[in-house]
Amino acid sequence: MADQFYLFRRGNGRYYAQDRISKRQTSLNTSNASQAKRLIAAKNQASEMPALNMAMARAYLTAKSPELVNRTWADVMHDLELSYSGSTLLRWGKVIKSPPFRLLANIKLIDTESSHFMEVLRHKRAGVSTNVWLRILHNRALDLGWLLAPVLVKRAWPKIRYGQKRAITAEEHEKIIVIENLDDYRLYFKLLWETGGSQSDIANLSHDDIDRENNRLYYCRQKVATRGFGSVTIAIGPRIREILKELPKEGWIFPRLRMLSEDERASHFRKVCLRSEIKGVTLHSYRYAWAERAQCAGMPEREAMAHLGHSSRAVHQAYARRVETVTMPLEYYEAKKQEKIIAFDHLQTMAGDTPECAVAVG
């Protein structure tokens, strides 16, 4: 194996080392020949050790698991693809075809360095989703034991900075309902407002999901269905009942919309927002709006989480983080307590049993 660095002397008498690979020249800061030779020998020895260590590692790994040294990031991407379904699978398909991830696909896991990851993260087409999905890919390789050590330690990853998301307001929703001229989309937006469901879950509702006898609406959160949770049961109130009356009486509730992709439905919503002069909202803003309305109305957090299909309290709180929680004055609760005591006394009197003391538990 040829030495990586070789020695040469310039006209000013000083010695330099040149890298055979990068062609970069570095001054050794000496005019002494014997000192320069010792320095160049030290540089070559230092460069040989990583290569020797890698060669030895390959030899041991080949003996233990021959396929381990040949796996690329494309293999990890394919493994993740097999574990996804539905809209998540579609999103992952777009991610692996993106320019940042194409840089990584053919690199062997054993040859991966932090510089490879940083090149992906700093690509001009990279964004927040690149950071998120690369972490998922990296962790998958570690979990499978295909990666012997983290490529980037936790503190070396660039911080994920999500864009600002907000709920759609009641005024904006009403504006959209007035401007929307397609009946199925108008009813779709109304049902999103009343249920807080995700756009795909609501678009795929059918009459099999409606129990009219028990007044229930059922659906499963497609995003988390493979994890064994996300089943949602909603009691049908007067407003939802009025919306359902205008929809088909059998089969799919939104037969046309369910055939469209998420991007197509989102694109239509953006166009309606442009006509309505509304900025900063997406179809997902309906879920934020429902979470905020539930908190403002005093709905118990556990019940609101069950309604939205949230298994994580932190995720649910993030949805309602912008809401202003207003508590009623003490006099309100004191008046309510007095009403309960009076009502209790009245019931006891009608039963012919007037107690000496009546205590109401609020």
Residue 332 and residue 362 share a domain: yes
Distinct helix (H) and strand (E) counts, the chain: 15, 6
Pair 20, 5: CB distance under 8 Å: yes
3-state class of 16 per DSSP? strand
Q: Please give the Cα distance from 265 to 202 (Å, whole number).
A: 12
Digit-coded pLDDT (tens) for 61-85: 555 566 777 889 999 999 999 988 8
Q: What is the pLDDT of residue 338?
A: 79
Looking up residue 278, the CATH number of its domain turns out to be 1.10.443.10
- Does 21 have pLDDT greater than 60? yes
Q: What is the CA radius of gyration of the chain?
A: 32
Residue 233 and residue 181 share a domain: yes
Residue 203 and residue 97 share a domain: no
- In a domain, residue 161? The reply is no
Residue 235 and residue 314 share a domain: yes
If one counts the domains in the chain, the total is 4
Residue 282 and residue 177 share a domain: yes
Residue 268 and residue 200 share a domain: yes
Q: Tell me which residue has tokens 């034991």.
A: 145
Residue 85 and residue 109 share a domain: yes
Q: Please give the Cα distance from 353 to 347 (Å, whole number).
A: 9
Q: What is the pLDDT of residue 52?
A: 57
Residue 81 and residue 50 share a domain: no
First to last CA, the chain: 85
**Is this model's pTM higher than 0.85 or not?**
no
Sheet strands (E) in the chain: 5-9, 15-19, 25-27, 210-211, 216-220, 231-235
- In a domain, residue 199? The reply is yes
Residue 236 and residue 354 share a domain: no
Residue 105 and residue 34 share a domain: no
Looking up residue 85, the CATH number of its domain turns out to be 1.10.150
Q: Which domain holds residue 338?
A: 327-362
Structure tokens at 268: 């239509």
- In a domain, residue 41? The reply is yes
- Does 229 have pLDDT greater than 80? no
